[in-house]
Amino acid sequence: MVDIALKNLLHDKLRSAITIAGVAFAVTLVLVQTGLFLGVMDNASVVIDHTDADLWVTSHNTANIDFAQTFSEGAVDRVRSVPGVARADNLIVAFMNVALPNGATEGTEVYALDDFQRWGLPWDVHEGNVTDLQRGDYMFVDESATKRFGPFHVGEYREVLGRRLQIIGTTRHALSFTTSPVTFMNYRLAQMIQPTLLGGYTCYILVKLAQGADTTVVGREIARRLPYNDVHTKQGWAAQSRKYWIVSTGLGLSMYVTVFLGCLVGVVVVAQTLYTSTMEHWKEFGTVKAIGGNNADIYRILAKQALIAAVIGFVCGIVLSWGMAPLLTQLGLRLIMPLWLHGALFVGTIVFCLGAAAVSFHKVASIDPALVFRN
Amino acid sequence: MMQQIHNQWTIEATDITKVFREGDEVTHVLNGVSLALKAGEIVSLEGPSGSGKTTLLSVLGCILTPTSGRVTVAGELADPSRPRRLAAIRRQFIGFVFQQYNLFPALSVVENVEYALNVKGITRGSRAIAEAAVEAVGLNDRRRALPCDLSGGQKQRVAIARAIASRPPVLLVDEPTANLDSHVGGQILDTFHTLARQNNQSLLIVTHDPSVRRIVDRVITIRDGQFVS
């Protein structure tokens, strides 16, 4: 059988290239934008996702993990007494200033715990031993801080709110939506550095449930015993932290608008080029009808042309997006492009391209085969 | 495929009228014409521009439906109320050759012929049938060429190959020599003559060209929608 759709595409190379470029552009736009969105959203909850806690106790109405509010650290004892709680610890999350060797000051988001290892934090240690944080005025700094702090090495000192701390380790992928570099230090040390705000106070209580304990039941009991606090499941707290940034920054809307525009560009380009192609092949399609073909024969040609453009354009878009990923990483942007996103985008590309072809279907249906006898 | 025709006529039109209406304007293009062709018969339909030649060709080809009258092709009544059946009649029984050739520019000579076979529902062995048809019109050495690389005469031959490949009992041809010089036009007419006789096909040629008379069995002249001879 003659594959006229493919032949048409190969024959009109420029138009085909424009169609494929349109699809590739749309795919790249949607994939990169969504990938950046997922990257930023991942930053918003990355610490929650990696912390080995089943429940998070927060101050009442705390919006997200970065904007922590304090409450009495003694509350942790009441949590520990709740049946079904295997362990519970205080966690401080606070913004502090770091004096840099060049005299400048930069902000850092401090995570302070008594025993980091117990809670799986930090999850990607590059240098150093995290248990050493308990031994003195030490801190771990995430490597992403290089952009803001300048180069630093293990063994060097930095002043945090006037207190000299030694960097004894580095981590990777500990990020915050606020883009402030993340540092880790001992819980008591953080209180000593900022006694007025943190002395006797904590920001969160991390809760690990005993084996077989029911999350809802234990959570409800903690909430009953701590009526001025909120209790979140790990997933719920992560989702709330992400949602805060999506809604408050307009990031979600921006992402949806860009995705919509990407889809629109793809559909318009494909619809426009297929429609023009249909008009140019008007007489040929009339001939198909005259010799006994029907609308479905022509729909198949157009649909196949759209499908071929969709598949090639999709592949080009994927290659382009992955090609851009290292560049964006160098710029400090995280791009998360999971397999499900590729799958969804592929299905979307096919559906939108077929939809674009349908614009021409309507025109094809009106072709009068008698036109073949007109000059 | 060549159909078994029980009736002596492969195509028969009886008392055909065709009226076009555009707003209040009514144009009677065909006024009760009747026509029948036997298998293997070659007939030319002549007449001035606007006389109704092409409209009659379209009606006979089941592309236009008549306002009144009936058309029978290969023994089957062309029922205007069944458009799908009309398309099936075109697929099964009629081969068309258009004045402008109407070839697919993206397809080679042999692919143009093969695609028409595919549209007609012939897929198995379609390439071999197409190649045989291309050979029959003397274009074997140009079978891989695209239409843009062919002369007018060669394009016309491709159009002929496309029309005859499925061996329909009826061939309807519109102005086959209009765009060709007299020498090439003569060759094309010879090709038509040979193939129609060989395949026992009824051939109706609409033309202005008097040289067509050389190959036909009958000449019908139409004027103002009526046959005059």
- Contact between B98 and A291 using a beta-carbon 8 Å cutoff: no
% chain B with pLDDT above 90: 66
**Cα torsion A41, A47, A50, A54: sign:** negative
Residues present in chain A in total: 375
DSSP A184: E
Interface of B with A in 100-129 (CB under 8 A): 100, 102, 104-107, 111, 114-116, 118-120, 123, 126
The per-residue pLDDT for range A253-264, each reduced to its tens digit, is: 888 888 888 888
Lowest mean pLDDT among A111-115, A204-208, A267-271, B6-10: B6-10
Among the residues of chain A, which ranges form H helices? 4-11, 13-50, 75-80, 146-149, 187-193, 195-198, 215-225, 234-248, 251-280, 282-290, 295-330, 339-365
The type of residue at B118 is N
Token couple for A343: 């799958």
The type of residue at A364 is V
Neighbouring C-alpha atoms within 13 Å toward the C-beta of A278:
27
Residues in B touching A283 (Cβ below 8 Å): 100, 102
- For the question of an ipTM over 0.90, the answer is no
Domain spans of chain A? 4-43+250-373, 61-227
C-alpha span between A363 and A357 (Å, rounded): 10
Bridging pattern class, strands A85-99 and A204-209: antiparallel
Chain B nearest C-alpha distance from A261 (Å): 33
CATH for the B9-227 domain, from 3.40.50.300, 3.40.50.850, 3.30.1510.10, 2.30.29.30 = 3.40.50.300
Contact with chain A for residue B140, Cβ under 8 A: no
Whether the pLDDT of residue B73 is over 90: the answer is yes
- What pLDDT, on the 0 to 100 scale, is given for residue B4? 43
DSSP A308: H
**For residues B76 and B93, is the Cβ–Cβ distance under 8 A?**
yes
Closest CA to A369 of B65, B64, B115, B70: B64
Bridging pattern class, strands A138-142 and A182-186: antiparallel
B111: nearest CA partner in chain A:
A2
The per-residue pLDDT for range A77-123, each reduced to its tens digit, is: 999 999 999 999 999 999 999 999 888 999 999 999 999 999 999 99
- What pLDDT, on the 0 to 100 scale, is given for residue A41? 84
C-alpha span between A36 and A174 (Å, rounded): 17
pLDDT band for position B229 (50/70/90)? Answer: low
Pick from A2, A8, A375: CB nearest B100: A375
DSSP B101: -
Pick from B58, B102, B123: CB nearest A287: B102
Whether the pLDDT of residue B3 is over 50: the answer is no
% chain A with pLDDT above 70: 100
Interface of A with B in 5-34 (CB under 8 A): 7-8, 10-12
C-alpha span between A103 and A16 (Å, rounded): 58
The burial class, CB within 10 Å (0-12 / 13-18 / 19+), for A279 is exposed
Most B CBs within 10 Å, among A11, A289, A373, A375, to test the B interface? A373
- What pLDDT, on the 0 to 100 scale, is given for residue A365? 87
